[in-house]
Structure 1
């Protein structure tokens, strides 16, 4: 698995979520990091079905050994824009 793809997938997911939902989604994603692979598999599929029409092929490459790295890069991609931004469109209020 190329972890750059997980980073890019996190950035893409960010664009699919309404600004007022982003903080809650970030917390939900962070909680997935501590879950077992089995719990993670169920949660991430539910997560994608809620926000995305299809599950990307990249997720089929996630396994017990690389899950923690996928999680870290996905979260960094999801949050990356906001660290540099701080504008109203990110979280509904200017940071």
Structure 2
């Protein structure tokens, strides 16, 4: 017996328009095998949204990693927080006392 075709389910209906109680349906885009479902606008939009969300998450992770390795700003903040008149070396802007 052949494996059943998996359809894309959106808003309680199958994207390809089929009806039946014994049809296999999922919202996981990678498991959908029905060619008609994969060619619908609803499926394409869901795939586009998933891909864009993954790209945004990757960009955010990259930005967070860049902030984590920004030692200069954390060192600057540490020196700024120290009490006393001469907190920052001369190469830092915004130094009130020399």
TM-score by length of 2: 0.28
Relative to its length, the structure with more strand (as a share) is 2
Relative to its length, the structure with more helix (as a share) is 1
